[in-house]
Structure 1
Amino acid sequence: MRHRYLFIGGLHRSGTSLASRIAASIDGIGAIENAPVPENEGVYLQGAIPHDALSGTPGAFAFDPDQHHIEGGPYDRLEVRTRIEADWAPWFPQTPWRVEKSPVNLLRSRLYQQLFPLSQFVIVTRHPLAVARATEKWSDLNEADLVAHWGQAYRLALSDAQRLHARVILRYEDIVADPGAALGALRAFCDRPDGAVAPEPVRDGNADYDLRATMPCSDSARAAMAALGYGPDGAVLPLVTEAVTHPLRRVREAVAAVWPPRI
Protein backbone atom coordinates (compact mmCIF):
# COMPACT_ATOMS: atom_id res chain seq x y z
CA MET A 1 0.00 0.00 0.00
CA ARG A 2 1.28 3.45 -0.90
CA HIS A 3 1.42 5.87 1.99
CA ARG A 4 2.04 9.50 2.88
CA TYR A 5 3.48 11.00 6.03
CA LEU A 6 1.93 13.44 8.46
CA PHE A 7 4.84 14.76 10.52
CA ILE A 8 4.00 16.33 13.88
CA GLY A 9 6.56 18.51 15.63
CA GLY A 10 6.57 20.71 18.71
CA LEU A 11 8.53 21.25 21.88
CA HIS A 12 8.30 18.74 24.69
CA ARG A 13 5.09 19.14 26.72
CA SER A 14 3.42 21.12 23.94
CA GLY A 15 0.74 18.58 23.05
CA THR A 16 2.41 16.58 20.27
CA SER A 17 1.31 13.25 21.77
CA LEU A 18 -2.26 14.53 22.05
CA ALA A 19 -2.23 15.74 18.44
CA SER A 20 -0.82 12.39 17.29
CA ARG A 21 -3.53 10.41 19.09
CA ILE A 22 -6.24 12.60 17.58
CA ALA A 23 -4.80 12.14 14.10
CA ALA A 24 -4.43 8.38 14.55
CA SER A 25 -8.10 8.11 15.54
CA ILE A 26 -9.06 9.08 11.98
CA ASP A 27 -9.76 6.26 9.57
CA GLY A 28 -6.80 5.72 7.26
CA ILE A 29 -4.19 7.34 9.51
CA GLY A 30 -1.90 5.05 11.50
CA ALA A 31 0.65 5.81 14.20
CA ILE A 32 3.56 4.00 15.85
CA GLU A 33 2.37 2.10 18.91
CA ASN A 34 4.05 0.00 21.61
CA ALA A 35 7.55 0.76 20.37
CA PRO A 36 10.47 0.33 22.81
CA VAL A 37 11.36 4.03 22.66
CA PRO A 38 10.22 7.16 24.54
CA GLU A 39 6.69 8.23 23.63
CA ASN A 40 6.69 6.11 20.46
CA GLU A 41 8.89 8.70 18.77
CA GLY A 42 9.95 7.57 15.33
CA VAL A 43 13.17 9.53 15.50
CA TYR A 44 14.55 6.81 17.79
CA LEU A 45 13.49 4.01 15.44
CA GLN A 46 15.56 5.04 12.44
CA GLY A 47 19.30 4.94 11.91
CA ALA A 48 19.68 7.22 8.91
CA ILE A 49 19.97 10.45 10.91
CA PRO A 50 21.92 9.98 14.15
CA HIS A 51 19.80 10.71 17.20
CA ASP A 52 20.22 10.05 20.91
CA ALA A 53 19.08 11.58 24.20
CA LEU A 54 21.40 14.56 23.80
CA SER A 55 20.15 15.27 20.28
CA GLY A 56 16.69 16.22 21.50
CA THR A 57 17.38 17.55 24.99
CA PRO A 58 14.31 19.39 26.32
CA GLY A 59 14.97 23.11 26.52
CA ALA A 60 18.20 22.88 24.53
CA PHE A 61 17.97 21.20 21.10
CA ALA A 62 16.82 24.27 19.17
CA PHE A 63 20.08 26.03 20.03
CA ASP A 64 22.08 23.17 18.47
CA PRO A 65 22.62 23.95 14.77
CA ASP A 66 23.20 20.25 14.11
CA GLN A 67 19.52 19.60 14.91
CA HIS A 68 18.18 21.98 12.24
CA HIS A 69 17.92 19.97 9.01
CA ILE A 70 16.93 21.47 5.67
CA GLU A 71 17.04 20.56 2.00
CA GLY A 72 20.52 20.41 0.50
CA GLY A 73 22.12 19.33 3.77
CA PRO A 74 24.12 16.18 4.48
CA TYR A 75 20.98 14.06 4.95
CA ASP A 76 19.27 15.12 1.76
CA ARG A 77 20.10 11.85 0.00
CA LEU A 78 18.13 8.99 -1.50
CA GLU A 79 19.84 6.47 0.78
CA VAL A 80 18.62 8.40 3.83
CA ARG A 81 15.03 8.23 2.62
CA THR A 82 15.40 4.53 1.83
CA ARG A 83 16.87 3.73 5.25
CA ILE A 84 14.19 5.71 7.12
CA GLU A 85 11.43 3.95 5.19
CA ALA A 86 12.95 0.54 5.91
CA ASP A 87 13.47 1.26 9.60
CA TRP A 88 9.96 2.64 10.13
CA ALA A 89 8.07 0.06 8.07
CA PRO A 90 7.73 -2.58 10.84
CA TRP A 91 6.22 -0.07 13.27
CA PHE A 92 3.41 1.36 11.17
CA PRO A 93 0.07 -0.25 10.31
CA GLN A 94 -0.91 -0.59 6.66
CA THR A 95 -2.73 2.72 6.23
CA PRO A 96 -2.70 5.42 3.52
CA TRP A 97 -1.28 7.91 6.03
CA ARG A 98 1.45 7.45 8.63
CA VAL A 99 1.58 9.99 11.46
CA GLU A 100 5.06 10.35 12.97
CA LYS A 101 5.46 12.44 16.10
CA SER A 102 8.85 13.55 17.43
CA PRO A 103 9.67 16.93 19.03
CA VAL A 104 12.67 17.44 16.74
CA ASN A 105 10.37 17.27 13.70
CA LEU A 106 9.83 20.95 14.49
CA LEU A 107 13.28 21.59 12.97
CA ARG A 108 13.23 18.89 10.26
CA SER A 109 10.23 19.88 8.16
CA ARG A 110 12.18 21.19 5.18
CA LEU A 111 14.37 18.09 5.02
CA TYR A 112 11.41 15.73 5.36
CA GLN A 113 9.54 17.60 2.65
CA GLN A 114 12.52 17.08 0.37
CA LEU A 115 12.83 13.38 1.24
CA PHE A 116 9.06 12.74 1.18
CA PRO A 117 7.59 15.32 -1.22
CA LEU A 118 3.93 14.46 -0.50
CA SER A 119 4.33 14.73 3.27
CA GLN A 120 2.36 17.26 5.33
CA PHE A 121 3.24 18.94 8.60
CA VAL A 122 1.62 19.82 11.90
CA ILE A 123 3.28 22.45 14.08
CA VAL A 124 2.09 22.08 17.67
CA THR A 125 2.64 24.93 20.08
CA ARG A 126 1.70 25.95 23.62
CA HIS A 127 2.14 29.12 25.64
CA PRO A 128 5.88 29.43 26.39
CA LEU A 129 5.42 29.93 30.11
CA ALA A 130 3.32 26.77 30.35
CA VAL A 131 5.97 24.88 28.38
CA ALA A 132 8.69 26.19 30.70
CA ARG A 133 6.73 25.21 33.82
CA ALA A 134 5.96 21.75 32.42
CA THR A 135 9.53 21.14 31.24
CA GLU A 136 11.54 22.41 34.19
CA LYS A 137 11.29 19.05 36.01
CA TRP A 138 13.49 17.56 33.26
CA SER A 139 15.95 20.43 33.04
CA ASP A 140 18.54 22.31 35.07
CA LEU A 141 17.79 25.44 33.05
CA ASN A 142 15.97 28.37 34.59
CA GLU A 143 12.67 29.75 33.36
CA ALA A 144 14.27 32.50 31.31
CA ASP A 145 16.42 29.96 29.45
CA LEU A 146 13.45 27.69 28.75
CA VAL A 147 11.37 30.57 27.39
CA ALA A 148 14.32 31.69 25.25
CA HIS A 149 14.58 28.15 23.87
CA TRP A 150 10.86 28.23 23.04
CA GLY A 151 11.45 31.45 21.13
CA GLN A 152 14.40 30.03 19.21
CA ALA A 153 12.53 26.83 18.30
CA TYR A 154 9.41 28.53 16.98
CA ARG A 155 11.35 31.30 15.27
CA LEU A 156 13.10 28.62 13.20
CA ALA A 157 9.94 26.55 12.74
CA LEU A 158 7.86 29.49 11.51
CA SER A 159 10.62 30.57 9.15
CA ASP A 160 10.89 27.03 7.74
CA ALA A 161 7.10 26.80 7.48
CA GLN A 162 7.11 29.47 4.77
CA ARG A 163 8.74 26.89 2.48
CA LEU A 164 6.28 24.08 3.21
CA HIS A 165 3.58 23.14 0.73
CA ALA A 166 1.16 21.84 3.38
CA ARG A 167 1.21 22.66 7.07
CA VAL A 168 -1.23 23.46 9.83
CA ILE A 169 -0.63 25.10 13.22
CA LEU A 170 -2.34 23.48 16.21
CA ARG A 171 -2.15 25.42 19.45
CA TYR A 172 -2.51 23.29 22.56
CA GLU A 173 -4.95 25.79 24.00
CA ASP A 174 -7.22 25.50 20.96
CA ILE A 175 -7.09 21.70 21.06
CA VAL A 176 -8.18 21.45 24.70
CA ALA A 177 -10.86 24.11 24.15
CA ASP A 178 -12.40 22.15 21.26
CA PRO A 179 -10.90 18.71 20.57
CA GLY A 180 -13.70 18.02 18.10
CA ALA A 181 -12.56 20.95 15.98
CA ALA A 182 -8.97 19.65 16.10
CA LEU A 183 -10.19 16.26 14.93
CA GLY A 184 -12.14 17.87 12.10
CA ALA A 185 -9.19 20.05 11.10
CA LEU A 186 -6.80 17.10 10.87
CA ARG A 187 -9.35 15.04 8.98
CA ALA A 188 -9.81 17.86 6.48
CA PHE A 189 -6.07 18.55 6.29
CA CYS A 190 -5.41 14.93 5.25
CA ASP A 191 -8.54 14.89 3.06
CA ARG A 192 -10.01 11.90 4.86
CA PRO A 193 -13.74 11.13 4.69
CA ASP A 194 -15.98 12.03 7.59
CA GLY A 195 -16.32 9.34 10.22
CA ALA A 196 -18.13 8.69 13.46
CA VAL A 197 -15.03 8.93 15.67
CA ALA A 198 -15.63 10.96 18.81
CA PRO A 199 -12.79 13.18 20.04
CA GLU A 200 -10.97 11.96 23.12
CA PRO A 201 -11.75 13.85 26.34
CA VAL A 202 -8.94 16.22 27.28
CA ARG A 203 -8.18 18.49 30.19
CA ASP A 204 -6.47 21.87 30.16
CA GLY A 205 -3.00 21.25 31.58
CA ASN A 206 -2.32 24.99 31.63
CA ALA A 207 -4.62 25.15 34.66
CA ASP A 208 -1.91 23.35 36.64
CA TYR A 209 0.33 26.42 36.54
CA ASP A 210 0.14 30.04 37.64
CA LEU A 211 0.72 31.81 34.34
CA ARG A 212 0.12 35.27 35.77
CA ALA A 213 3.74 35.54 36.90
CA THR A 214 6.16 37.88 35.19
CA MET A 215 7.82 36.05 32.32
CA PRO A 216 11.39 36.80 31.22
CA CYS A 217 11.26 37.14 27.47
CA SER A 218 13.93 37.26 24.75
CA ASP A 219 13.41 39.19 21.53
CA SER A 220 12.94 35.97 19.54
CA ALA A 221 10.36 34.73 22.05
CA ARG A 222 8.42 37.99 21.82
CA ALA A 223 8.34 37.77 18.02
CA ALA A 224 7.20 34.14 18.03
CA MET A 225 4.61 34.85 20.74
CA ALA A 226 3.16 37.68 18.67
CA ALA A 227 2.95 35.48 15.56
CA LEU A 228 1.31 32.61 17.44
CA GLY A 229 -1.10 34.73 19.46
CA TYR A 230 0.36 34.44 22.94
CA GLY A 231 0.38 37.29 25.42
CA PRO A 232 1.35 38.00 29.03
CA ASP A 233 -0.27 36.19 31.95
CA GLY A 234 -0.90 33.11 29.83
CA ALA A 235 -3.16 35.00 27.44
CA VAL A 236 -4.23 33.26 24.23
CA LEU A 237 -5.09 35.81 21.56
CA PRO A 238 -6.23 35.40 17.94
CA LEU A 239 -3.69 33.57 15.81
CA VAL A 240 -1.79 36.05 13.65
CA THR A 241 0.06 33.57 11.45
CA GLU A 242 -2.05 31.83 8.82
CA ALA A 243 -3.31 28.61 10.41
CA VAL A 244 -3.14 26.41 7.31
CA THR A 245 -1.44 26.26 3.96
CA HIS A 246 -2.14 23.58 1.36
CA PRO A 247 -1.82 23.44 -2.43
CA LEU A 248 -5.50 22.51 -2.83
CA ARG A 249 -7.93 25.36 -2.18
CA ARG A 250 -10.64 22.83 -1.32
CA VAL A 251 -8.52 21.46 1.54
CA ARG A 252 -7.49 24.90 2.74
CA GLU A 253 -11.09 26.03 2.91
CA ALA A 254 -12.24 22.85 4.65
CA VAL A 255 -9.63 23.27 7.38
CA ALA A 256 -10.23 27.01 7.72
CA ALA A 257 -13.95 26.37 8.22
CA VAL A 258 -13.28 24.67 11.56
CA TRP A 259 -9.79 25.81 12.60
CA PRO A 260 -8.82 27.58 14.72
CA PRO A 261 -11.98 27.30 16.80
CA ARG A 262 -13.54 30.42 18.27
CA ILE A 263 -12.51 30.48 21.93
Structure 2
Amino acid sequence: MKGHRYVFVAGLHRSGTSLVARLLGEHPDIAAITDAPVPENEGCYLQGAIPHTARHGVPGHFATDPDQHLVEGCALDRLETRVRMEADWSRWFDSARPWRVEKSPVNLTRTRLLQSLFPMSQFIIVTRHPAFTAEAMRKWVDVEAIGFRGYWQGAHDLVLADLEYLHCAMIVRYEDLVERPQTMRRAMFAFLDLPVCESARQIANGNRRYLDSAQRSSAAYSRLGYAPGASCGPLLPRVRHPLRAIVERVEEVLANTDYAEAWRMSD
Protein backbone atom coordinates (compact mmCIF):
# COMPACT_ATOMS: atom_id res chain seq x y z
CA MET A 1 0.00 0.00 0.00
CA LYS A 2 1.44 3.36 -1.04
CA GLY A 3 0.00 5.18 1.95
CA HIS A 4 -3.33 5.84 3.53
CA ARG A 5 -5.73 8.50 2.31
CA TYR A 6 -7.42 10.62 4.95
CA VAL A 7 -10.90 12.10 4.98
CA PHE A 8 -11.14 14.61 7.80
CA VAL A 9 -14.61 15.40 9.13
CA ALA A 10 -15.01 18.84 10.69
CA GLY A 11 -17.77 20.95 12.18
CA LEU A 12 -18.86 22.74 15.31
CA HIS A 13 -19.88 20.64 18.29
CA ARG A 14 -23.45 19.32 18.01
CA SER A 15 -23.47 19.75 14.22
CA GLY A 16 -23.63 16.09 13.19
CA THR A 17 -19.96 15.29 12.69
CA SER A 18 -20.19 12.01 14.59
CA LEU A 19 -23.06 10.85 12.39
CA VAL A 20 -21.11 11.61 9.21
CA ALA A 21 -18.00 9.82 10.51
CA ARG A 22 -20.02 6.73 11.41
CA LEU A 23 -21.65 6.63 7.98
CA LEU A 24 -18.27 6.88 6.29
CA GLY A 25 -16.82 4.26 8.61
CA GLU A 26 -19.34 1.70 7.36
CA HIS A 27 -17.51 1.54 4.05
CA PRO A 28 -15.20 -1.49 3.68
CA ASP A 29 -12.43 0.73 2.28
CA ILE A 30 -12.55 3.26 5.13
CA ALA A 31 -11.02 2.63 8.55
CA ALA A 32 -12.52 4.50 11.50
CA ILE A 33 -11.46 4.98 15.10
CA THR A 34 -13.70 2.90 17.35
CA ASP A 35 -13.81 2.10 21.05
CA ALA A 36 -11.14 4.66 21.90
CA PRO A 37 -11.19 5.97 25.51
CA VAL A 38 -11.84 9.54 24.34
CA PRO A 39 -14.96 11.59 23.59
CA GLU A 40 -16.71 10.45 20.39
CA ASN A 41 -13.58 8.64 19.15
CA GLU A 42 -12.03 11.99 18.23
CA GLY A 43 -8.53 11.66 16.85
CA CYS A 44 -7.35 14.98 18.25
CA TYR A 45 -7.12 13.31 21.68
CA LEU A 46 -5.11 10.37 20.36
CA GLN A 47 -2.10 12.25 18.99
CA GLY A 48 0.53 14.47 20.50
CA ALA A 49 1.85 16.25 17.43
CA ILE A 50 -0.68 19.10 17.44
CA PRO A 51 -1.21 20.34 21.00
CA HIS A 52 -4.67 19.52 22.30
CA THR A 53 -4.83 20.53 25.94
CA ALA A 54 -7.95 21.12 28.02
CA ARG A 55 -7.83 24.70 26.75
CA HIS A 56 -8.09 23.61 23.11
CA GLY A 57 -11.32 22.77 21.34
CA VAL A 58 -13.59 24.22 24.03
CA PRO A 59 -17.22 24.14 22.79
CA GLY A 60 -18.45 27.61 21.96
CA HIS A 61 -14.97 29.11 21.96
CA PHE A 62 -12.35 27.33 19.87
CA ALA A 63 -13.50 28.18 16.34
CA THR A 64 -13.05 31.93 16.73
CA ASP A 65 -9.80 31.78 18.70
CA PRO A 66 -7.05 33.08 16.37
CA ASP A 67 -4.45 30.95 18.16
CA GLN A 68 -6.33 27.78 17.17
CA HIS A 69 -6.56 28.67 13.48
CA LEU A 70 -3.74 26.57 12.01
CA VAL A 71 -2.70 27.03 8.39
CA GLU A 72 -0.03 26.02 5.92
CA GLY A 73 3.38 27.45 6.77
CA CYS A 74 2.78 27.66 10.52
CA ALA A 75 5.28 26.25 13.01
CA LEU A 76 3.50 22.88 13.01
CA ASP A 77 3.72 22.48 9.24
CA ARG A 78 6.64 20.04 9.37
CA LEU A 79 7.25 16.46 8.33
CA GLU A 80 7.82 15.60 11.99
CA THR A 81 4.22 16.57 12.76
CA ARG A 82 2.84 14.19 10.17
CA VAL A 83 5.12 11.35 11.23
CA ARG A 84 4.11 11.75 14.89
CA MET A 85 0.40 11.93 14.04
CA GLU A 86 0.48 8.78 11.94
CA ALA A 87 2.53 6.95 14.56
CA ASP A 88 0.11 7.93 17.32
CA TRP A 89 -2.96 7.05 15.25
CA SER A 90 -1.68 3.79 13.80
CA ARG A 91 -2.98 1.57 16.63
CA TRP A 92 -6.50 2.94 16.21
CA PHE A 93 -6.96 2.30 12.49
CA ASP A 94 -7.25 -0.92 10.50
CA SER A 95 -4.08 -0.72 8.43
CA ALA A 96 -5.53 -2.95 5.69
CA ARG A 97 -8.03 -0.30 4.59
CA PRO A 98 -6.79 2.36 2.14
CA TRP A 99 -8.85 5.23 3.60
CA ARG A 100 -9.00 6.59 7.14
CA VAL A 101 -11.74 8.83 8.50
CA GLU A 102 -10.78 11.09 11.38
CA LYS A 103 -13.42 13.24 13.01
CA SER A 104 -12.72 16.06 15.44
CA PRO A 105 -14.60 19.38 15.74
CA VAL A 106 -11.24 21.17 15.92
CA ASN A 107 -10.51 20.05 12.37
CA LEU A 108 -12.71 23.01 11.46
CA THR A 109 -9.84 25.40 12.18
CA ARG A 110 -7.05 23.06 11.05
CA THR A 111 -8.09 22.15 7.51
CA ARG A 112 -5.36 24.15 5.83
CA LEU A 113 -2.62 22.71 8.05
CA LEU A 114 -3.99 19.19 7.62
CA GLN A 115 -4.02 19.64 3.85
CA SER A 116 -0.36 20.65 3.95
CA LEU A 117 0.57 17.71 6.18
CA PHE A 118 -1.52 15.22 4.18
CA PRO A 119 -1.64 16.58 0.60
CA MET A 120 -4.02 13.86 -0.65
CA SER A 121 -6.52 14.39 2.14
CA GLN A 122 -10.15 15.37 1.63
CA PHE A 123 -12.47 17.25 3.94
CA ILE A 124 -16.16 16.93 4.75
CA ILE A 125 -17.40 19.93 6.67
CA VAL A 126 -20.70 19.45 8.47
CA THR A 127 -22.97 22.41 9.19
CA ARG A 128 -26.25 22.69 11.07
CA HIS A 129 -28.73 25.56 11.18
CA PRO A 130 -27.56 28.02 13.84
CA ALA A 131 -30.92 27.94 15.62
CA PHE A 132 -30.82 24.17 16.03
CA THR A 133 -27.13 24.15 16.92
CA ALA A 134 -27.78 26.70 19.66
CA GLU A 135 -30.62 24.65 21.12
CA ALA A 136 -28.53 21.49 21.05
CA MET A 137 -25.66 23.32 22.76
CA ARG A 138 -27.78 24.43 25.73
CA LYS A 139 -27.02 21.18 27.54
CA TRP A 140 -23.33 22.13 27.49
CA VAL A 141 -23.07 25.92 27.71
CA ASP A 142 -25.04 29.09 28.41
CA VAL A 143 -25.54 30.06 24.77
CA GLU A 144 -26.73 33.58 25.57
CA ALA A 145 -23.83 34.29 27.92
CA ILE A 146 -21.19 33.31 25.37
CA GLY A 147 -22.94 34.98 22.43
CA PHE A 148 -23.34 31.73 20.56
CA ARG A 149 -25.06 33.21 17.53
CA GLY A 150 -22.10 35.48 16.81
CA TYR A 151 -19.72 32.61 17.50
CA TRP A 152 -21.53 30.35 15.01
CA GLN A 153 -21.42 33.04 12.32
CA GLY A 154 -17.77 33.84 12.93
CA ALA A 155 -16.85 30.17 12.75
CA HIS A 156 -18.58 29.69 9.41
CA ASP A 157 -17.19 32.92 7.99
CA LEU A 158 -13.78 31.41 8.72
CA VAL A 159 -14.76 28.08 7.18
CA LEU A 160 -15.90 29.64 3.93
CA ALA A 161 -12.73 31.74 3.75
CA ASP A 162 -10.53 28.68 4.33
CA LEU A 163 -12.39 26.72 1.66
CA GLU A 164 -10.72 28.90 -0.95
CA TYR A 165 -7.41 27.24 0.00
CA LEU A 166 -8.61 23.63 -0.05
CA HIS A 167 -8.32 21.35 -3.05
CA CYS A 168 -10.85 18.73 -1.94
CA ALA A 169 -13.68 19.77 0.35
CA MET A 170 -17.40 19.21 0.61
CA ILE A 171 -19.98 20.92 2.80
CA VAL A 172 -22.76 18.66 4.05
CA ARG A 173 -25.68 20.29 5.80
CA TYR A 174 -27.08 18.20 8.65
CA GLU A 175 -30.58 19.08 7.51
CA ASP A 176 -29.97 17.59 4.07
CA LEU A 177 -28.41 14.48 5.54
CA VAL A 178 -31.32 13.63 7.83
CA GLU A 179 -33.95 14.42 5.21
CA ARG A 180 -32.24 12.61 2.31
CA PRO A 181 -29.78 10.20 3.92
CA GLN A 182 -29.32 7.84 0.99
CA THR A 183 -28.75 10.65 -1.49
CA MET A 184 -26.24 12.35 0.77
CA ARG A 185 -24.43 9.07 1.44
CA ARG A 186 -24.09 8.50 -2.29
CA ALA A 187 -22.85 12.07 -2.74
CA MET A 188 -20.20 11.69 -0.04
CA PHE A 189 -18.91 8.43 -1.48
CA ALA A 190 -18.91 9.95 -4.96
CA PHE A 191 -16.80 12.78 -3.55
CA LEU A 192 -14.31 10.16 -2.29
CA ASP A 193 -14.51 8.26 -5.60
CA LEU A 194 -15.74 5.16 -3.79
CA PRO A 195 -18.65 2.86 -4.62
CA VAL A 196 -21.71 3.05 -2.40
CA CYS A 197 -21.90 0.45 0.35
CA GLU A 198 -24.86 -0.92 2.24
CA SER A 199 -25.86 0.80 5.47
CA ALA A 200 -27.76 -0.63 8.39
CA ARG A 201 -27.79 2.66 10.28
CA GLN A 202 -31.12 4.32 10.99
CA ILE A 203 -30.82 8.10 10.80
CA ALA A 204 -33.11 10.12 13.04
CA ASN A 205 -33.76 13.83 12.59
CA GLY A 206 -32.31 15.30 15.77
CA ASN A 207 -33.71 18.73 14.92
CA ARG A 208 -37.27 17.67 15.68
CA ARG A 209 -36.77 17.74 19.43
CA TYR A 210 -35.81 21.43 19.24
CA LEU A 211 -38.32 22.51 16.61
CA ASP A 212 -40.63 24.68 18.74
CA SER A 213 -37.89 26.81 20.28
CA ALA A 214 -35.77 26.93 17.11
CA GLN A 215 -38.69 28.19 15.02
CA ARG A 216 -38.90 31.25 17.27
CA SER A 217 -35.29 32.13 16.50
CA SER A 218 -34.24 34.82 14.05
CA ALA A 219 -30.84 33.19 13.55
CA ALA A 220 -29.91 32.91 9.89
CA TYR A 221 -26.93 32.51 7.56
CA SER A 222 -27.85 33.04 3.95
CA ARG A 223 -24.47 31.89 2.62
CA LEU A 224 -25.44 28.35 3.57
CA GLY A 225 -29.15 28.70 2.90
CA TYR A 226 -30.18 29.04 6.54
CA ALA A 227 -33.16 31.37 7.06
CA PRO A 228 -34.97 32.71 10.16
CA GLY A 229 -37.51 30.49 11.81
CA ALA A 230 -35.20 27.47 11.61
CA SER A 231 -35.89 27.06 7.91
CA CYS A 232 -33.50 25.99 5.17
CA GLY A 233 -33.40 27.32 1.65
CA PRO A 234 -32.62 25.23 -1.43
CA LEU A 235 -28.87 25.90 -1.39
CA LEU A 236 -27.05 22.64 -1.91
CA PRO A 237 -23.91 21.48 -0.14
CA ARG A 238 -20.80 22.80 -1.86
CA VAL A 239 -17.87 20.85 -3.24
CA ARG A 240 -14.33 21.48 -4.42
CA HIS A 241 -12.20 18.91 -6.21
CA PRO A 242 -9.37 19.31 -8.74
CA LEU A 243 -10.88 16.56 -10.91
CA ARG A 244 -13.93 17.86 -12.73
CA ALA A 245 -15.21 14.30 -13.21
CA ILE A 246 -15.58 13.94 -9.44
CA VAL A 247 -17.47 17.22 -9.14
CA GLU A 248 -19.77 16.26 -11.99
CA ARG A 249 -20.40 12.84 -10.46
CA VAL A 250 -21.44 14.40 -7.16
CA GLU A 251 -23.62 16.91 -9.00
CA GLU A 252 -25.27 14.07 -10.89
CA VAL A 253 -26.11 12.29 -7.64
CA LEU A 254 -27.66 15.42 -6.19
CA ALA A 255 -29.45 16.35 -9.41
CA ASN A 256 -31.80 13.46 -8.79
CA THR A 257 -33.22 15.20 -5.72
CA ASP A 258 -35.83 17.91 -5.58
CA TYR A 259 -33.37 20.74 -4.89
CA ALA A 260 -33.95 23.89 -6.88
CA GLU A 261 -30.38 25.12 -7.28
CA ALA A 262 -27.29 23.59 -8.78
CA TRP A 263 -23.97 24.18 -7.08
CA ARG A 264 -20.30 24.24 -7.79
CA MET A 265 -17.17 25.44 -6.05
CA SER A 266 -14.63 23.81 -8.32
CA ASP A 267 -14.15 26.76 -10.67
Whether the TM-score (by the shorter chain) exceeds 0.5 is yes
Question: Which residue number in structure 1 is paired with residue 215 of structure 2?
Answer: 212
Question: Which residue number in structure 2 is paired with residue 73 of structure 1?
Answer: 74
Preserved CA contact (<8 Å) 2:6 2:100: yes
Question: What is the aligned-residue RMSD (CA, Å)?
Answer: 1.7
Query: Cα–Cα, structure 1 residues 92 and 145, in superposed 2: closer, same or farther, change >3 Å?
Result: same
Preserved CA contact (<8 Å) 1:17 1:101: yes
Aligned counterpart in structure 2 of residue 99 of structure 1, from 98, 101, 104 = 101
Aligned letter for 1:20? A
Question: Which residue number in structure 1 is paired with residue 7 of structure 2?
Answer: 6
Q: Specify the SS of the correspondent of 1:44.
A: helix
Question: Which residue number in structure 2 is paired with residue 33 of structure 1?
Answer: 34
Query: Cα–Cα, structure 1 residues 199 and 232, in superposed 2: closer, same or farther, change >3 Å?
Result: farther
Range moving further from structure 2, 247-256 or 2-11: 247-256
CA shift at 1:144, angstroms? 7.2
Question: Which residue number in structure 1 is paired with residue 262 of structure 2?
Answer: none
Aligned letter for 2:226? Y
Q: TM-score of the superposition, structure 1-length normalised?
A: 0.92
CA shift at 1:84, angstroms? 0.6
CA shift at 1:249, angstroms? 1.4
Preserved CA contact (<8 Å) 2:134 2:143: no
Aligned letter for 1:235? S
Question: Which residue number in structure 2 is paired with residue 167 of structure 1?
Answer: 169
Preserved CA contact (<8 Å) 2:163 2:169: yes
- Distance of 2:139 and 2:101 partners within structure 1: 28
- Distance of 1:107 and 1:199 partners within structure 2: 32
Aligned letter for 2:215? R
Structure 1 spans left out of the alignment, 5+ residues = none
Preserved CA contact (<8 Å) 1:127 1:230: yes
- Distance of 1:244 and 1:203 partners within structure 2: 25
Aligned counterpart in structure 1 of residue 229 of structure 2, from 204, 229, 233 = 233
Aligned counterpart in structure 1 of residue 244 of structure 2, from 249, 252, 258 = 249
String of CA shifts for 1:72-123, please: whole Å, max 9, x gaps: 1111111111111111111011211100000011111100000000000001
- Distance of 1:169 and 1:110 partners within structure 2: 15
Q: Specify the SS of the correspondent of 2:53.
A: coil
- Distance of 1:144 and 1:127 partners within structure 2: 18
1:84 maps onto 2:85 in alignment = yes
- Distance of 2:247 and 2:28 partners within structure 1: 20
Question: Which residue number in structure 2 is paired with residue 47 of structure 1?
Answer: 48
Aligned letter for 1:257? E
Q: Specify the SS of the correspondent of 1:257.
A: helix
Structure 2 spans left out of the alignment, 5+ residues = 260-267
Aligned letter for 2:139? K
Q: TM-score of the superposition, structure 2-length normalised?
A: 0.90
Query: Cα–Cα, structure 1 residues 73 and 19, in superposed 2: closer, same or farther, change >3 Å?
Result: same
Aligned letter for 2:11? G
Question: Which residue number in structure 2 is paired with residue 109 of structure 1?
Answer: 111
CA shift at 1:189, angstroms? 1.0
Aligned residues: 254
- Distance of 1:14 and 1:63 partners within structure 2: 16
